[in-house]
Amino acid sequence: MIRIYINGASGKMGQSLSKLIESDDQFQSVSENDFSLSDVVVDFSNPISTLKILKRCLEINVPIVIGTTGFNDDEINEIKNAGSKIPILLAANFSLGVSSLKKSLEYFIKTLDQDMSCLIEETHHIEKLDQPSGTAIELKNLIDSIDKNNNIKTIKIKSVRKKDVFGLHKVTFHNQNKTSYFMHEALSREVFAKGALFSSNAIMKMKPKVYKLKDILN
């Protein structure tokens, strides 16, 4: 049985993850009082809370899965430094469908033979604080890194906040000849919770390093 401490258990993602753990005999939730007994930490909180729990993970040598977004450069560097001592999985989105979306984008851009403009649209619930979303930023960085021939002339990000939207990402490529769409929509938080549980199991078997979700899927 894998013992998990959820940092941010009272939040919506934390609650969704707790429910999933309760229904799976492979996992067990660990309270804050018994934190030192956890096998892995899953974090859905805020940057300040994440760095606080990260220090605790370093003290007791426990791997951590980080789903929090909105870090600044200094905070990212602190996470990277911690990765030299413990395994860390840092992901803006734990949906396995988003991983498939990234693979599709990679193939599309590598085979692109004409100039196009790109629009990344992300829609989330009104309580999500960071704009644009971490996933939208990851998608932009992915496109930039793959576009070796500089076919993508512009990349814009549009952020929308609506009630009762769990997460929608749409990537549009357009020129005078054609328009291509790539889209993923999560219809419940369980999609992310399942990905986080999968990640918590996988990160325990990894060596100290900061990993992306794609690293444990390959």
Q: Which pLDDT tens digit goes with each residue over 37-77?
A: 899 999 999 999 999 999 999 999 999 999 999 999 999 99
Q: Are residues 89 and 149 in the same domain?
A: no
The whole model's pTM is what? 0.82
Out of 102, 128, 184, 194, pick the active-site residue. Answer: 128
Residue type, 179: T
Q: What pLDDT does residue 130 have? A: 86
Shared domain check, 109 and 70: no
Q: What is the pLDDT of residue 54?
A: 98
Residues 164 and 147 reside in one and the same domain: yes
Give dist(CA 153, CA 143) in Å, integer. Answer: 11
- If asked whether residues 87 and 194 sit together in one domain, one would say yes
Host domain of residue 143: 96-186
Q: Are residues 107 and 130 in the same domain?
A: yes
pLDDT band per the 50, 70, 90 thresholds, residue 166 = very high
In terms of domains, do 28 and 55 share one? yes
> Higher pLDDT residue, 96 or 84?
84
Q: Evaluate if residue 141 carries a pLDDT over 80.
A: yes
Please indicate, yes or no, whether residues 8 and 32 belong to a single structural domain of this protein. Answer: yes
pLDDT in tens, 90-100: 999 999 899 99
pLDDT of residue 129: 79
HEC secondary structure over 23-47: CCCCEEECCHHHHHHCCEEEECCCH
Q: Are residues 132 and 147 in the same domain?
A: yes
Q: Are residues 88 and 7 in the same domain?
A: yes
- Looking at the fold, whether 39 and 9 belong to one and the same domain comes out as yes
Q: Please pick, among 102, 103, 124, 140, the residue that the annotation labels catalytic.
A: 124
Which two tokens mark 40?
Answer: 């892995």
Per-residue pLDDT tens over the stretch 10-34: 999 999 999 999 999 999 999 888 8
Q: What is the CATH number of the domain that holds 212?
A: 3.40.50.720
169 and 201, same domain (yes or no)? no
pLDDT band, residue 35 (cuts 50/70/90) = confident
Distance CA 87, CA 120 (A): 31
Q: Which residues does 155 contact at the CB level (< 8 Å), separation at least 6?
A: 117, 118, 119, 120, 140, 143, 144
Q: What is the pLDDT of residue 29?
A: 94
The reported pLDDT for the residue numbered 33 is 81
CA separation for the pair 189, 58 (Å, rounded): 29
What values do phi and psi take at 18, rounded to 5?
-60, -45
pLDDT bucket at 173, cuts 50 / 70 / 90: very high
Classify residue 114 by its DSSP letter. S
| DSSP 8-state symbol, 202 | H
Residue closest to 128 by CA, chosen among 13, 2, 4, 9: 13
Phi, psi of 160 (to 5 degrees): -130, 140
Pair (78, 112) in one structural domain? no
Task: Decide if 105 contacts 172 (C-beta within 8 A).
Answer: no
Tell me whether residue 128 is one of the annotated catalytic residues.
yes
> What domain count does the chain have?
2
Q: What is the pLDDT of residue 102?
A: 94
